């Protein structure tokens, strides 16, 4: 894509102050070193937590660190759409073999472990449905075409269910699309349209998820850990326990150029102010889908936080008051009940459950992608990844991850909402949904379960209108940019690693005048073969 370069700063004198140590901030640091040739020791990452990666986590259960592992969510990748991500990780040595990149490791892994789900949808009688039959009516197809034909300014802040009738939401297509990409029918129709365009190549294989690519281990071990190690080796200054509470901006009365001039930072020792020099940049990560996450284990229930206790949203709230084009964060955090999730990770201390799942589905670990019980009260889905899914998982232990999509509904076997269920109760519900009642007692005795309540997990799909998300580089900004899942990138889709990496690339390339093209956003409709395959699929 065309790279709009702004007035070039002196990169040798520039200091980059990156607010937030998630994948967007880390990617910005990497691009600044690799492509803008900024001295690594001039790059400073301010991160509130004691670990990098933000929402891309994976590790020990903080409540039971010796016996249980956890990821709050999973990441699915594709070759076609994650072009900026692959560009970044082609330069980062992998976790275990410094002679190959993360990108090369991922490619080799997916050549060995190919996704081809055989049990994508399962009904209430434990029968695997014929998921390849998408079940779309002529009216449903017309409704999809109507949405695709509209421009976003015409769609505005309307919901998905304003464009489709009830039969669409009972189709196999919707059952798979919603759980693959985490859509609810009250989410943004504009975002669904973007997903249709961005992932149209996946439509013919949505029942097998054969286009999905995964990392060797979880997202932290395979992507964040190697990237963090590389940044530190280059000399990047990573400051944990530091979070920015406010920033000052000035506008030139004649040129209208806007500059960030000062950061206000809370640090373990107290507070400090950071003055930005003539050639310095400030990059602000906005919002967080894992803010106020709370963990539970086998016998307790994680709390649902409603009053924004941590600082994942506060900085954006503060900055938004300084200029009308800095976005409207309340659009996204304002309705917790529409966006909360509860996920769970099983740590199995033997292979009894794992072997039964393999026999039941016909999929070895890592090849099955999502399994969804589409008639279950909690609308449960699980993924059995390739084992081990954690780099430090001891031999003889295994993990799987799952989540509920209707956590305020009553379970089929546990007669309470999933939001009120303990880890053990969720495990009991899952075993009954699988129809494995005969091994229930054994599984309960040999499995630890970690649950996570996330108030804002799908907040990035909130119905929005123009201006709710700020531009990566606001108009007339010369030394600051916004990063993360809550900025506006035309045509790209949120809830992807690619979105965060792309916005970081745009910020660094434009602010620092990098003369290198940014990869185009993939559009499968430009390929006649992709379009034809998608058309055949919706008529199947």
**359-381 pLDDT per residue, tens:** 999 999 999 989 999 999 999 99
pLDDT band at 530 (very low <50, low <70, confident <90, very high): confident
Position 280 scores a pLDDT of: 96
The backbone torsions φ and ψ at residue 434, rounded to the nearest 5 degrees and listed phi first, read -75, -20
pLDDT of residue 403: 96
186 assigned to some structural domain: yes
In a domain, residue 147? The reply is: yes
Does the residue 131 lie in any domain? Answer: yes
Work out the burial of residue 448: count CB atoms within 10 Å of its CB; fewer than 13 is exposed, 13-18 middle, 19 or more buried.
buried
Q: For residue 248, what are the contacts with CB-CB under 8 A and spacing of at least 6?
A: 260, 261, 262
More confident residue, 76 or 113: 113
Does the pLDDT value for residue 4 go beyond 80? no
Whole-Å CA distances, 356 to 62, 395, 437, 475, 503: 29, 19, 11, 57, 43
Asked whether the predicted pLDDT for residue 429 surpasses 60, the reply is yes
Longest CA span, the chain: 77
Q: Which two tokens mark 468?
A: 């709710």
pLDDT at 535: 81
% of residues, the chain, pLDDT over 70 = 98
Cα radius of gyration (the chain): 23
> Is pLDDT of 29 > 90?
yes
pLDDT in tens, 75-102: 889 999 999 999 999 999 999 999 999 9
User: Who wins on pLDDT, 3 or 63?
Assistant: 63
pLDDT at 425: 98
Give residue 171's domain range: 122-211
pLDDT tens-digit map of 130-168: 999 999 999 999 999 999 999 999 999 999 999 999 999
- Under 8 Å between Cβ of 18 and 30: no
**pLDDT band (50, 70, 90) for residue 310:** confident
Is residue 7 predicted with pLDDT exceeding 70?
A: no
Angle between helices 23-34 and 225-234 (to 10 degrees): 40
Q: Quickly count: other Cβ atoms within 10 Å of residue 233's Cβ.
A: 10
**Is residue 297 assigned to a domain?**
no
- Whether residue 533 lies inside any domain: the answer is no
The phi-psi region of residue 469 (left if phi > 0; otherwise alpha if psi is between -120 and 50; otherwise beta) is beta
Place of tokens 């106020």: 292
pLDDT on residue 311: 87
The span from the CA of 150 to the CA of 80, in Å, is 24
The number of residues in the chain equals 540
Residue 311 structure tokens: 């600082």
The pLDDT confidence band at residue 124, using thresholds 50, 70 and 90, is very high
Whether 523 has a pLDDT exceeding 90, the answer reads: no
Domain total for the chain?
Answer: 1
What are the tens digits of pLDDT across the range 201-248? 999 999 999 999 999 999 999 999 999 999 999 999 999 999 999 999
Q: Is pLDDT at 9 greater than 90 in this prediction?
A: no
pLDDT reported for residue 316: 97
Across 312-338, average pLDDT: 96
Is 506 inside a domain boundary?
no
> Which of these, 330, 317, 323, 328, lies nearest to 246 by C-alpha position?
317
- Spatial contact of 264 and 244, defined as CB atoms under 8 Å apart: yes
Does pLDDT of 522 surpass 60? yes
C-alpha 78/C-alpha 82 separation (Å) is: 6
Give the phi and the psi of residue 267 in degrees, each rounded to 5.
Answer: -125, 165
Mean pLDDT of the chain: 95
Helices 423-434 & 352-361 angle (0-180, nearest 10): 40
Q: Which of 278-287, 307-316, 529-538 has the highest mean pLDDT?
A: 278-287
Residue 13 lies inside a defined structural domain of this protein = no
The pLDDT of residue 315: 96
| HEC assignment per residue over 489-501 | CCCCCCCCHHHHH
Residue 153 lies in a domain: yes
Cis link prior to 340 (omega < 30° from 0)?
no
Is the pLDDT at 5 greater than 90, yes or no? Answer: no
For the question of whether the overall pTM of this predicted structure is more than 0.75, the answer is yes
pLDDT at 364: 97
Instruction: Pull the structure tokens for residue 539.
Output: 């008529």
Model pLDDT, residue 67: 92
pLDDT higher than threshold 60 for residue 171: yes
- Per-residue pLDDT band for 312 (boundaries 50, 70, 90) equals confident
Q: Cis bond leading into 388, ω under 30°? A: yes
Average pLDDT over residues 494-503: 97
Strand 480-483 relative to strand 380-383: parallel, antiparallel, unpaired?
A: unpaired
């Amino acid at each position: 894509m065309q790279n709009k370069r702004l007035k070039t700063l002196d990169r040798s004198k520039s200091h980059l102050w990156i607010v937030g140590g998630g994948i967007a901030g880390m990617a910005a640091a990497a691009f600044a070193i690799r492509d803008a040739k900024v001295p690594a020791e001039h790059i400073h990452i301010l991160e509130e937590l004691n670990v990098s990666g933000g929402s891309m986590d994976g590790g020990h259960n903080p409540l039971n660190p010796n016996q249980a592992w956890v990821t709050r969510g999973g990441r699915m990748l594709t070759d076609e759409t994650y072009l900026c991500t692959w560009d970044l990780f082609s330069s980062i040595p992998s976790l275990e073999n410094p002679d190959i990149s993360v990108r090369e490791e991922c490619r080799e892994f997916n050549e060995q472990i190919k996704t081809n789900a055989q049990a994508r949808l399962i009904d209430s009688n434990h029968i695997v449905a014929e998921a390849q039959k998408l079940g779309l009516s002529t009216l449903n197809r017309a409704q999809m075409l109507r949405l695709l034909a509209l421009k976003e300014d015409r769609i505005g802040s309307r919901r998905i269910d304003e464009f489709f009738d009830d039969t669409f939401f009972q189709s196999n297509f919707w059952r798979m699309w919603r759980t693959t990409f985490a859509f609810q029918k009250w989410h943004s129709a504009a975002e669904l349209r973007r997903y249709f365009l961005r992932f149209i190549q996946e439509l013919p294989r949505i029942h097998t998820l054969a286009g999905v690519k995964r990392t060797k281990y979880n997202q932290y071990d395979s992507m964040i850990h190697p990237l963090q190690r590389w940044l530190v080796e280059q000399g990047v200054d990573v400051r944990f326990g530091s979070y920015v509470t406010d920033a000052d901006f000035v506008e030139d009365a004649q040129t209208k150029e806007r500059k960030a001039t000062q950061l206000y930072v809370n640090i373990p020792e107290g507070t400090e102010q950071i003055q930005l020099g003539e050639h310095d940049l400030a990059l602000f990560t906005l919002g967080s889908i894992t803010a106020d996450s709370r963990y539970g284990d086998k016998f307790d229930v994680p709390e649902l936080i409603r009053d924004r206790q941590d600082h994942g949203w506060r900085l954006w709230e503060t900055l938004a008051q300084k200029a009308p084009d800095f976005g409207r964060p309340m659009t996204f955090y304002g309705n917790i009940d529409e966006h909360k999730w509860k996920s769970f990770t099983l740590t199995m201390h033997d292979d009894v459950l794992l072997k039964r799942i393999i026999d039941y589905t016909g999929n070895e670990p890592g090849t099955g992608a999502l399994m969804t019980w589409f008639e279950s009260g909690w609308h449960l889905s699980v993924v059995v990844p390739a084992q081990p899914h954690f780099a430090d998982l001891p031999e003889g232990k295994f993990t799987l991850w799952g989540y509920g999509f209707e956590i305020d509904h009553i379970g089929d076997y546990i007669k309470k909402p999933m939001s009120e269920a303990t880890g053990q109760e969720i495990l009991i519900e899952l075993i009954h949904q699988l129809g494995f009642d005969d091994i229930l007692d054994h599984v309960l005795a040999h499995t630890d379960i970690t649950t996570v309540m996330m108030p804002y997990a799908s907040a990035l799909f909130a119905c929005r209108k123009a201006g709710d998300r700020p531009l990566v580089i606001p108009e007339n900004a010369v030394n600051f940019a916004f990063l993360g899942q809550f900025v506006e990138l035309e045509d790209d889709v949120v809830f992807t690693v690619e979105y965060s990496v792309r916005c970081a690339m745009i910020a660094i390339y434009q602010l620092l005048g990098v003369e290198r093209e940014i990869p185009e956003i993939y559009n499968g409709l430009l390929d006649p073969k992709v379009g034809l395959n998608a058309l055949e699929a919706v008529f199947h």
